[in-house]
Amino acid sequence: MRYRLRLRSEPFIHCQKRKMENKKKSIRTQIPSFLNSCRCIKNLHFYGQNRNRNVKAATFEALSSASSPLRDTISLPSLVNDPSSMAMISVQHVVVLLLTSFLIAITFFLFTSDNIRFPLPSLSSDYTPLPNSSNLGVSSDQTPQKMKMKLNASHDQEEEVVKWDLCKGAESVDYIPCLDNRDAIKQLKSRRHMEHRERHCPEPTPKCLVPLPDNYKPPVPWPKSRDMVWYNNVPHPKLVEYKKEQNWVKKEGEFLVFPGGGTQFKYGVTHYVEFIEKALPVIKWGKNIRVVLDVGCGVASFGGFLLDKDVITMSFAPKDEHEAQIQFALERGIPATLSVIGTQQLTFPANAFDLIHCARCRVHWDADGGKPLLELNRVLRPGGFFIWSATPVYRDNDRDSKIWTAMVSLTKSICWKVVAKMVDSSGIGLVIYQKPTSESCYKKRSTQEPPLCPKEEANASWYAPLRQCISKLPSGAVQKWPELWPKRLGSVKPQSVLVDSKTFKKDTEKWSEIVSDVYLERLAVNWSSVRNVMDMNAGFGGFAAALVNRPLWVMNVVPVDKPDTLSVVFDRGLIGVYHDWCESLNTYPRTYDLLHSSFYLGDVTQRCEIVQVVAEIDRVLRPGGYLVVQDTMETIKELESILGSLHWSTKIHQDRFLVGRKGFWRPIKPEL
């Protein structure tokens, strides 16, 4: 018995001893020795079971040919001359011996190899590990908001340091840099014309990150969001109390609920829209009327209702005492932007909108020589309609009568004609004006006041002052009313930007193919969660046109440093704005689900730092939102590093497309 026990344990002990002695040898030498040792043990077990001379001879031969570690361990004469002892090596012990030896070999292999790497698989289709700190230049002992990265914003291969900090201040959760520049606003000489509600961008452009509201949640999905949103996402109770009698918005538990009321919507927005249809039956929503501008929109219930009629409405209002009304609209999934008719032109092209609407929008149209109404005339399409629902239309007190008289004089001077005027059973009235389609009326005026404006330049409305003149009408086929929707989406002839129809058609086909084959099918984007979309470099609006049948809307941005194609976007029945991406947008934080850029972010670095642009993208996107980029690999790699420092997940497709997804990470709040 003692002999058998010694025989069972001795090979293992000697094998361990030999492995410790050979630890410094190359792994390539150890693996063949290990395999030969396994083969000889298998032969030993086979010999113990059969006990015949042929097997005995084969075993002896195997042991003789085995590598030195195992051959030296086992006493060959004693094993071969005592077959009974061989039988005691059971299958169980051989398996244990094999597994133990295998684990030792693997452990030795891992600890002695300097070149091998074992990448771990992704946990889900949307998950991408953060970039390695060595690739970003991040020190392992640094806090997240003080990450160091190798950036190439100016393509000079110099190392810059990016420090992510939270924006400071009591209102930092809703921080809009170009509208919340308190220092610039304090220095204004006048606020008479709403100068304090206009853009005053700080220098340099901030790189801070806006904090999240407490208990922020992913937004309520569309279309349910049109009627209710999470209160904690937009925790502003002031408008609930201020407009409680007009059914703008109510608070019910965890939600803000939008009943569809408004100052002029006493019986609800549905009744109000039907009232407009009765007043002027020529208005066919979603047919000849596709693109609408809603001035002083409140919470955008008018535009939200028209979405069901295939009408896309650009709702706008200033950031004023009507607390967060545009933020409410965007949280609901309704197109909206922050703007004001003050001293500067709206960031839209001339002759863009089919219809403009104002329901108690609190704009003095005859102020400053009629400049506010002349600005509406500029952006209204020839033959387009202006609907004005306000007390001067249907009340005859001294104040309202004076305003109405001034409005009659002003509209006559710019050749607008009244096509309808009605008072509803609710007591609410409206008047509908129509803009002329030719300049013949202008020439017949008894006085040339206001005069005709000189020819406008491209991107003329970016930081352009309001003008006290009548914008000239376009000539030729451009001034003709677009075809009925949806045919107008692909039938526009972009002579206004000197682009031939073949180029336009090719662009449309290109985007249709890219969106259907790549964006919708192959990129890691959950499109069912996407409602508010922005195209950072829209061109002719091909990206938006390719998505028109999906339950989302696209804000088409034409950068001021690119060709002016925004008029084509509106001619197609889409909406958009001019913008300079070296500055912040006129929108609240966390208002878009997806931002798209096609071969633009690499160009913008020639004018400003890419980190500034990424910080603005992070401000605008909701947690869980996407950045989809088509660009060169140089730009994509640079973006991947910056997004990694923000703790975004990223994926690259075909060395051409980057998908970044924003998370809930924010830098640590500084100690007070």
Contact 377, 228 (CB under 8 A): no
In this predicted structure, the answer to whether residue 148 has a pLDDT above a threshold of 70 is no
Query: Of 118-132, 317-331, 387-401, 484-498, which range is least confident?
Result: 118-132
Which token pair is 150?
């190798």
In angstroms, the CA 202 to CA 194 distance is 19
At 238, is the pLDDT very low, low, confident or very high (cuts 50, 70, 90)?
confident
The arithmetic mean of pLDDT across residues 645-655, rounded, is 97
pLDDT for position 573: 97
In this predicted structure, the answer to whether residue 626 has a pLDDT above a threshold of 50 is yes
In this predicted structure, the answer to whether residue 20 has a pLDDT above a threshold of 90 is no
Which domains are seen in the chain, by residue range?
264-473 (3.40.50.150), 491-671 (3.40.50.150)
Query: Of 29-33, 182-186, 330-334, 525-529, which range is least confident?
Result: 29-33
- Among candidates 371, 372, 375, which has minimal Cα distance to 352? 375
| Residue whose entry in the numeric block shows the structure tokens 């170009």 | 178
Contact 618, 557 (CB under 8 A): no
- pLDDT digit string, tens, across residues 339-364: 999 999 999 999 999 999 999 998 99
Contact 415, 436 (CB under 8 A): yes
- Among candidates 260, 291, 204, 264, which has minimal Cα distance to 613? 204
The arithmetic mean of pLDDT across residues 402-409, rounded, is 97
pLDDT for position 67: 44
Query: Of 125-134, 271-280, 527-536, 649-658, which range is least confident?
Result: 125-134
- pLDDT digit string, tens, across residues 577-610: 999 999 999 999 999 999 999 999 999 999 999 9
- pLDDT digit string, tens, across residues 257-294: 998 877 788 888 999 999 999 999 999 999 999 999 99
At 459, is the pLDDT very low, low, confident or very high (cuts 50, 70, 90)?
low
At 386, is the pLDDT very low, low, confident or very high (cuts 50, 70, 90)?
very high
In this predicted structure, the answer to whether residue 330 has a pLDDT above a threshold of 90 is yes
pLDDT for position 136: 29
Contact 657, 628 (CB under 8 A): yes
Contact 294, 313 (CB under 8 A): yes
pLDDT averaged over the chain?
81
pLDDT for position 659: 98
Query: Of 60-69, 413-422, 652-661, 662-671, which range is least confident?
Result: 60-69
pLDDT for position 599: 97
- pLDDT digit string, tens, across residues 501-560: 889 999 999 999 999 999 999 999 999 999 999 999 999 999 999 999 999 999 999 999
- Among candidates 42, 87, 82, which has minimal Cα distance to 66? 42
- pLDDT digit string, tens, across residues 150-194: 344 344 444 455 789 999 988 899 999 999 999 999 999 999 999
What pTM, to 2 d.p., does this model score? 0.77
The arithmetic mean of pLDDT across residues 555-570, rounded, is 95
pLDDT for position 21: 56
Parallel, antiparallel or unpaired: strands 417-423 and 429-434: antiparallel
Look at residue 68 and give its three-state secondary structure. helix
- pLDDT digit string, tens, across residues 474-494: 875 446 899 999 999 998 765
